[in-house]
Amino acid sequence: MAPSRTEPDLSFLLDHTSHVLRTRMAAALAEIGLTARMHCVLVHAVEEERTQAQLAEIGDMDKTTMVVTVDALEQAGLAERRPSSTDRRARIIAVTEKGAEAARDSMRIADRVHREVLEALPGDDARTLVRLLTRLTEGLLATPVEAPQNARRARQRVN
């Protein structure tokens, strides 16, 4: 006897749409030779001087993944590790001119993918969806709760 559901399976709906959106984004970014992680590092490193650790936190990457991502960006001539201008002990990820152009291109791609997804909704549904999801991420679902087993953490919002 299976229990009957009394509420919509919000976990499935959010997880499935998030997964499919990530695959669409990955495919679109691959057209210009970037991964979603490379895109994330570039767009956040070009905004302001940030250390590798800060960028890893923004992108929800462990140290190993971050090192591999920055290595790939360096190899492609899109970024380089440099000493911080404010703290010589710290190393930042500096975006090259080629990397800044790639960041602009990848942002246009990300915007296009998001626009295409939202355009699939009729009328004002897209604005309503974004408004309600924003409300959840700023309210009840703003902060993870302690759980007996670690759940995978979503990428953190940068203000």
Residue 62: inside a domain:
yes
Q: Is the pLDDT of residue 55 over 90?
A: yes
CATH number at residue 97: 1.10.10.10
User: Is 36 within the bounds of a domain?
Assistant: yes
Structural domain includes residue 76: yes
Instruction: State the total domains in the chain.
Output: 1
Q: What is the pLDDT of residue 159?
A: 45
Burial classification of residue 51, based on how many CB atoms lie within 10 Å of its CB (0-12 exposed, 13-18 middle, 19 or more buried): middle
pLDDT tens figures, 115-154: 999 999 999 999 999 999 999 999 999 998 888 776 665 5
Cα distance between residue 71 and residue 69, in whole Å: 5
Q: Is residue 67 part of a domain?
A: yes
pLDDT at 149: 74
Instruction: Tell me the pLDDT band of 54, cut-offs 50, 70 and 90.
Output: very high
Structure tokens given for 122 = 């009729």
In a domain, 12, yes or no: no
The per-residue pLDDT for 151 is: 65
Considering the domain boundaries, does residue 5 fall inside one? no
Domain that holds residue 86: 23-138
The residue-averaged pLDDT of 57-66 equals: 94
Q: Residue 33: helix, strand or coil by DSSP?
A: coil
**Residues 67-106 pLDDT 10s:** 999 999 999 999 999 998 888 888 899 999 999 999 999 9
Nearest CA-CA partner of 41 in 61, 21, 18, 20: 61
CA angle 68, 69, 75 (to 5 degrees): 85
40 located within any domain? yes
CA dihedral 152, 43, 53, 67 (to 10 degrees): 80
Cβ proximity of 152 and 60 under 8 Å: no
Instruction: Judge whether 156 lies within some domain.
Output: no
Burial of 3 (0-12, 13-18, 19+ CB in 10 A): exposed
